[in-house]
């Protein structure tokens, strides 16, 4: 394996950073400890702003401490897994860092996941406790006896709202949810939290950089759902890298926390990084594109991060015409590629509304703890996703030979650095397939993505090696939907493709062949849809269904999904 081009690229990348900032330290401590150490001199600053309920860093750490004691009072030990199935609320953030403080591991689950998806995640990770939003009670009631959970904490988005807003939310939403009284299995957030107030036993736990901190979920590079284990060090190094890539951000700034915590980009770059930097994190539990202008007017954040569909909403919002964005220091796009034309349109919009900064892109994946490539101010090139963050390395290899290719030639993107995952949970074969050790002992991630590096060392993303649908920034894997569909009693075979959508970019469309005993009918369509609603997250459910006698095949007998894509 030749490495000469890597060395040349490495020198080019480092020209964008000062000589003494080529490498960054990986803190040898828990996420909680890193967060605490980073804010020792900022205790009076605002940590979280949730509908104008402002929590200072001092009170934030007090609440984390009480929550950690409550966890210990319920028997949670180091390396136990606690699942967090929540939208962006203070309770979710507090629980995440409380779990870290006692050396346990957080398992992040999409709160809109289907019943069977939640059960699978809990069972696969051997979770012993779960905090979830209250409208998931019915799902948990149905599955709890099939898991190892001995306690479920029910929380409402109104738990930390100001009184008047919380009262309004109760009448609009919470009173529709049928909930139990606190019992042996289920407990409400406030009752759980109060258990920590009288718990006096020592809760200090030694946790190190190589200890697992969080389990996140993705399709991996193969498109099949994976549980990805990430260490404390892999996440803690990201703020240290970001301090160099984003030199103008400081503790007087604020960040709009729109991206959800169960998403790697949302958790690492939009929660842990801003809080570790002393920023005011403006938490938004549910994003409404039509009200985006109100968020920007009211809170005037200096840092905005989002997926491309968020910036589409920014461009299409008819109430944005007179908005002033002169306060915005950075607008960062991640989670999916932003083509050059859309990039330019966003830049023009920002400029016309007073911002002196254009949108910058990043590139990463859950396996690399989110963004590992970033367009710094000095390295910005329209259409590029940037250069490696300090201590990260990048190479492009031939898909077949795995040898490095020359500058400008397309190949598979591979990443190495301190933010690389520990591996896939209980899947050594897939871990070894994705993580490759070279002859110098360096670990490289096979991303499954195609790209190229230009003469200045900037990375350009081309496309994914595997089929993948990006819908509102979420990865939707056709093979997973097909696997679920094909288990249905009516379905003989299926194929799922992505079709264009005016706002979500793409949505799934299913082509279905029924078993010979069945024929297309309203009853069968309704039952298939009901089945999918139970087994798939809402954003994965196909928006269109086409029933056929057969599916097109390739020369070697595989379903020709490309032909179906051409028909859409």
Q: Kindly report, residue by residue over 58-82, the tens digit of the pLDDT.
A: 999 999 999 999 999 999 999 999 9
Q: Starting at the edge strand that comes first in sequence, how are the strands of the sheet with 387-388 ordered?
A: 53-56, 46-50, 280-283, 254-257, 303-306, 330-333, 359-365, 370-374, 387-388
Q: How confident is the model at residue 379 (pLDDT cuts 50, 70, 90)?
A: low
Helices then strands, each counted (H, E), the chain? 18, 27
In the predicted model, is pLDDT for residue 399 greater than 90?
A: no
Mean pLDDT of 399-411: 89
**Residue range 36-56: mean pLDDT, rounded:** 97
Can you give the pTM of this predicted structure?
0.85
Cβ neighbors of 416 (< 8 A, separation 6 or more) are 392, 393, 394, 395, 442, 443, 444, 445
Task: Find out whether 482 and 528 touch, Cβ atoms under 8 Å.
Answer: no
Domain span(s) for CATH 3.30.300.30 in the chain? 469-567
Mean pLDDT value across residues 392-409: 91
Lookup result for tokens 């042996």 = 184
Res 3: pLDDT: 31
CATH 3.40.50.12780 residue window(s) in the chain: 4-27+216-464, 31-207
Nearest residue to 363 (alpha-carbon basis) of 459, 456, 226: 459
- Work out the burial of residue 472: count CB atoms within 10 Å of its CB; fewer than 13 is exposed, 13-18 middle, 19 or more buried: buried
Q: Which CATH class name applies to 4-27+216-464?
A: alpha beta
What CATH number matches the domain at 469-567, 3.40.50.10860, 3.30.300.30, 3.20.20.100, 3.20.20.70? 3.30.300.30
pLDDT at 222: 58
Does an H or E element contain 38, and which? helix 31-38
In CATH terms, the fold of domain 31-207 is: Rossmann fold (3.40.50)
Work out the burial of residue 558: count CB atoms within 10 Å of its CB; fewer than 13 is exposed, 13-18 middle, 19 or more buried.
exposed
């Amino acid at each position: 394996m030749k490495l000469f081009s890597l060395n040349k690229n490495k020198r080019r990348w480092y020209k964008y950073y000062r000589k003494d900032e080529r490498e960054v330290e990986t803190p040898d401590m828990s996420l909680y400890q890193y967060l605490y150490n980073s804010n020792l001199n900022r205790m009076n600053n605002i940590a979280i702003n949730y509908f104008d309920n402002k929590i200072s860093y001092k009170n934030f750490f007090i609440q984390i401490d009480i929550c950690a004691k409550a966890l210990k009072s319920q028997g949670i030990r180091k390396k136990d897994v606690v699942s967090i199935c929540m939208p962006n609320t203070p309770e979710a953030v507090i629980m995440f860092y409380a779990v870290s403080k006692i050396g346990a591991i957080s398992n992040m689950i999409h709160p809109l996941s289907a019943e069977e998806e939640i059960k699978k995640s809990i069972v696969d990770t051997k979770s012993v406790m779960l905090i979830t939003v209250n409208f998931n009670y019915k799902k948990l009631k149905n599955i709890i006896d099939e898991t190892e959970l001995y306690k479920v904490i029910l929380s409402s988005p109104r738990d930390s709202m100001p009184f008047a807003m919380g009262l309004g939310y109760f009448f609009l939403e919470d009173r529709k949810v049928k909930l139990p009284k606190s019992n042996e299995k289920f407990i409400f957030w406030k009752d759980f939290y109060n258990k920590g107030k009288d718990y006096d036993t020592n809760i200090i736990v030694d946790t190190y950089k190589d200890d697992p901190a969080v389990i996140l979920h993705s399709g991996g590079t193969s498109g099949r759902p994976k549980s990805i284990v990430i260490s404390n060090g892999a996440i803690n190094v990201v703020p240290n890298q970001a301090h160099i890539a984003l030199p103008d951000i400081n503790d007087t700034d604020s960040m709009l926390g729109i991206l959800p915590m169960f998403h790697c980009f949302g958790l690492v770059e939009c929660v842990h990084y801003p809080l570790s930097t002393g920023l005011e994190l403006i938490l938004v539990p549910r994003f409404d594109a039509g009200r985006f202008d109100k968020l920007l007017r009211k809170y005037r954040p200096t840092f905005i991060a989002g997926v491309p569909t968020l910036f589409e909403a920014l461009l299409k919002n008819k109430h944005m015409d007179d908005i002033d964005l002169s306060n915005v220091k950075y607008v960062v796009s991640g989670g999916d590629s932003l083509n050059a034309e859309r990039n330019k349109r966003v830049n023009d919009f920002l400029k016309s509304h007073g911002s002196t900064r254009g949108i910058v892109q990043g590139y990463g994946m859950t396996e690399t703890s989110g963004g590992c490539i970033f367009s710094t101010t000095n390295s910005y090139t329209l259409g590029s996703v940037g250069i490696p963050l300090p201590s990260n390395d990048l190479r492009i290899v031939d898909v077949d030979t795995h040898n490095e290719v020359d500058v400008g030639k397309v190949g598979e993107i591979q990443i190495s650095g301190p933010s690389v995952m520990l591996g896939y949970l209980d899947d050594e074969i897939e871990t070894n397939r994705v993580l490759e050790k070279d002859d110098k002992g360096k670990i490289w991630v096979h991303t499954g993505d195609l790209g190229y590096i230009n003469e200045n060392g900037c990375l350009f993303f081309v496309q994914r090696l595997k089929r993948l649908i990006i819908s509102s920034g979420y990865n939707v894997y056709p093979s997973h939907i097909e696997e679920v569909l094909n288990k249905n009693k009516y379905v003989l075979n299926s194929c799922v493709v992505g079709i264009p959508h005016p706002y979500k970019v793409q949505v799934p469309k299913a082509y279905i062949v029924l078993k010979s005993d069945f024929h297309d009918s309203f009853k069968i369509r309704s039952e298939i849809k009901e089945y999918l609603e139970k087994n798939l997250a809402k954003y994965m459910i196909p928006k269109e269904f086409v029933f056929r006698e057969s599916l097109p095949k390739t020369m070697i007998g595989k379903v020709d999904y490309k032909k179906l894509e051409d028909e859409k």
